[in-house]
C-alpha cells in the first residue's frame, strides 16, 4: 500500500516512472523508489515528466538482475553515431 501511495503522489505532480520491471517484488520496488527519493525531477505541469531509473549499467542499476539493461550492449550501433571511414581531421569542414 505504501508503494501505491508513493505512485499517487508522483501522479499528482505528473511524474511517471516508465521503466519498472513487471515482475519486481513490492519490497524491492519500495527500495528503488526510496533510493531515488532525493533526486530532483523537473516539474512540467502541462506535459508531465517521464522518469527512468535504470542507469543502463547492470552494476549500478537499481533494479539489479530484474532489469534487462545488461542486454543493451547487444544492440547494434547506429550508423549516424559512427565517424566516416578513411577521414582525417583535415577533411573536416566547418559548416559556417
Tens digits of residue pLDDT in 49-65: 999 999 888 888 999 89
Give pTM, 2 decimals: 0.64
Are the CB atoms for 69 and 56 separated by under 8 Å?
yes
Average pLDDT over residues 10-30: 93
CA 75/CA 90 separation, integer angstroms? 32
**Distance separating alpha carbons of residues 25 and 75, to the nearest angstrom:** 28
pLDDT of residue 39: 85
Distance CA 33, CA 61 (A): 13
> Of how many residues is the chain composed?
96
Q: What is the mean pLDDT of the chain?
A: 81
Amino acid at each position: 500500500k505504501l508503494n501505491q501511495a508513493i505512485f499517487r503522489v508522483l501522479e499528482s505532480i505528473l511524474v511517471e516512472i516508465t521503466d519498472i520491471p513487471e515482475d519486481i517484488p513490492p519490497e524491492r520496488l519500495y527500495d528503488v523508489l526510496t533510493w531515488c527519493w532525493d533526486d530532483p525531477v523537473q516539474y512540467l505541469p502541462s506535459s508531465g515528466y517521464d522518469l527512468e531509473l535504470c542507469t543502463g549499467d547492470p552494476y549500478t542499476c537499481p533494479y539489479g538482475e530484474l532489469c534487462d539493461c545488461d542486454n543493451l550492449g547487444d544492440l547494434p550501433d547506429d550508423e549516424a553515431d559512427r565517424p566516416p571511414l578513411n577521414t582525417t581531421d583535415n577533411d573536416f569542414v566547418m559548416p559556417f
